[in-house]
Amino acid sequence: MAPKTYKEMKEEWVTGHTGGSVADVNIVSFAMPLSILLWSVIQQRLRLFIPYTPAVCLVDFLLNCTATLCATTVYSSSPWALNALLLLPAIALLVLEQPAATRRDVSRLSKKDKAVESKLDALPVKPFITHYRGAMMVMTCVAILAVDFPVFPRRFAKVENWGTSLMDMGVGSFVFTAGVVSARSALKGAAGTRAPLLQRLLTAFRHAIPLLVLGVVRFISVKGLDYAEHVTEYGVHWNFFFTLGFLPPFAALMQSAFDLVPSYAILSCILAGLYEVALDKTSLGGFILVAPRTDLLSKNREGIFSFIGYLAIFLAGQSLGSSALPRQQTLQKDASIMTKLRQTTLGRLVLTSIMWTALFYMSTSYHGLNLTVSRRLANLPYFLWVASFNSYHIAIVCAIEALLFPNIYKASSKEEEARRTRDATSTVLYAFNRNGLAVFLVANLLTGLVNMTMPTLHMGVLQSMAVLVAYMGTVAGVALALDRYNISIKL
């Protein structure tokens, strides 16, 4: 037998995996909210990140990028150790230090201030959303290159057919968080006059064109450079950029269905449920998994049909965004616990997390539907797992904000609220969130460059970590530079 080429070894390296447990994914990914907690405690207690000097930027990078990198590599076999290293300093600071004085803290408003308060944005920028989306982008950028090194455990790589893994969750979370922020435009449309369907579709296609072009460029590059590829991930021609590109127009179509079923959560469940019925009760499931690749449809069946599941995930993200993005109304001091759960942002997020988690376990338990998660199919359990995971992580980050920065939304003017919001937001995570898709594109280009110039499969731990830290430093540098020069690239 002829020895395998390096390309064949690379393709074998990312295929045939079965993943790990849901608990394993939860424990490892818990480093993200704990990093945000530690950053928030340092900022609230010490005001370390103001002014934002190069040394402070390095601390920000170490907390919010390097911690995630370590969680998925050198600490992957002992995630609780890293989690403790992040949690214990946060607890110590909370116990030993008093909150640092702020330049202005308005707790009581005059009549004039109340008049100004009424003009505050109904959809304010919320640091916990920025933090979570930025942290997920960091995790995504880490994983797409780290997976090519032995230091990244195989149980984190995308599974072949059935199972759960960190990278499987990363793909779904990318789509879910895109749905969360897209709810902003939907909420603005609901407040005013919604544009006609044709106009919404044209606008959506304008947003989709750059992503579809990137999909074509990626396909040509992969084929032209003879780059290692994992065909069963999306198909022969399809890639993740096509999935992202087709989401806006289909989401615009689903806004019309919203008139009939006024709940994105219910719409997403209906869509995912019907797709699961088709997978189980027809030959569709077998076609996606084992059919020969003879024509354009069969060659790209994974990407085409899994898009239905990703669209459901996107709608679930819109559902959460519809609850999380609007300004929270002032509650009476004697409001009941149930009233607080229903009317506060954190309460709604907790209820949403419980709902999605219960549905996920009903779909996978022996006494429920007894289904298995499949990212390749983007089936019902995968959809529910992604919705549950992201909901409770966002709820945790929201709780951190509510605990440490409770006065953000009590400002007396837009300017004061903007300052408080910025003070409570990591600059690194803000930069990753601000130009998310552009940063993702840069990360993809750097990943290709590293893989074409370095034998990643044969590199030891120290070499691998040196390359990965330099790579993340470069990606973060690009994100920070774009933010520093006030550049927003909308793809």
Region 351-373 average pLDDT: 96
Q: Read off the pTM.
A: 0.93
261-265, 401-405, 410-414: the lowest-pLDDT one? 410-414
pLDDT tens for 49-101 read: 999 999 999 999 999 999 999 999 999 999 999 999 999 999 999 999 898 87
pLDDT tens for 429-450 read: 999 999 998 999 999 999 999 9
Nearest one of 326, 330, 376 to 348, comparing CA atoms? 326
Separation in Å, CA 151 to CA 28, 32, 440: 15, 19, 22
Angle value at C-alpha 120, between 117 and 126, nearest 5 degrees: 120
C-alpha 489/C-alpha 491 separation (Å) is 6
The per-residue DSSP string of 384-453 comes to: HHHHHHHHHHHHHHHHHHHHH-TTGGG-SSHHHHHHHHHHTS-HHHHHHHHTHHHHHHHHHHHHHHHHHH
Whether residue 200 has pLDDT greater than 90: no
Confidence at residue 108, expressed as pLDDT on a 0 to 100 scale:
40
Whether residue 103 has pLDDT greater than 70: no
C-alpha 367/C-alpha 369 separation (Å) is 7
C-alpha 475/C-alpha 357 separation (Å) is 34
Region 394-423 average pLDDT: 93
pLDDT tens for 128-185 read: 999 999 999 999 999 999 999 999 999 999 999 999 999 999 999 999 999 999 988 8
Confidence at residue 107, expressed as pLDDT on a 0 to 100 scale:
41
Residue with tokens 């880490």, as numbered in its chain = 142
* Share above pLDDT 90 across residues of the chain, in percent, rounded to a whole number: 73
175 token code pair: 């789509």
pLDDT tens for 326-356 read: 998 777 676 777 777 778 999 999 999 999 9
pLDDT tens for 463-490 read: 999 999 999 999 999 999 999 999 998 7
The top-scoring range by mean pLDDT among 118-122, 161-165, 227-231 is 161-165
Q: Are 234 and 215 in contact (CB under 8 A)?
A: no
Nearest one of 280, 463, 269, 446 to 374, comparing CA atoms? 280
State whether residue 20 is helix, strand or coil: strand
pLDDT tens for 249-258 read: 999 888 888 8
C-alpha 314/C-alpha 205 separation (Å) is 17
Half-sphere exposure of 490 (CA within 13 A, CB side): 5
**Identity of residue 304:** I
Mean pLDDT computed over every residue of the chain: 90
184 token code pair: 């902003």
State whether residue 76 is helix, strand or coil: coil
Length of the chain (residues): 491
Nearest one of 28, 59, 141 to 472, comparing CA atoms? 141
> Euclidean distance between the first and final Cα of the chain, in Å?
47
pLDDT tens for 291-325 read: 999 999 999 999 999 999 999 999 999 999 999 99
Q: Which residues of 309-348 are buried (b: 16+ CB within 10 A; e: fewer)?
A: bbbbbbbbbbbbbbbbbbebeeeeeeeeeeeebeebbbbb
C-alpha 35/C-alpha 89 separation (Å) is 11
Whether residue 111 has pLDDT greater than 90: no
Confidence at residue 60, expressed as pLDDT on a 0 to 100 scale:
98
C-alpha 288/C-alpha 231 separation (Å) is 12
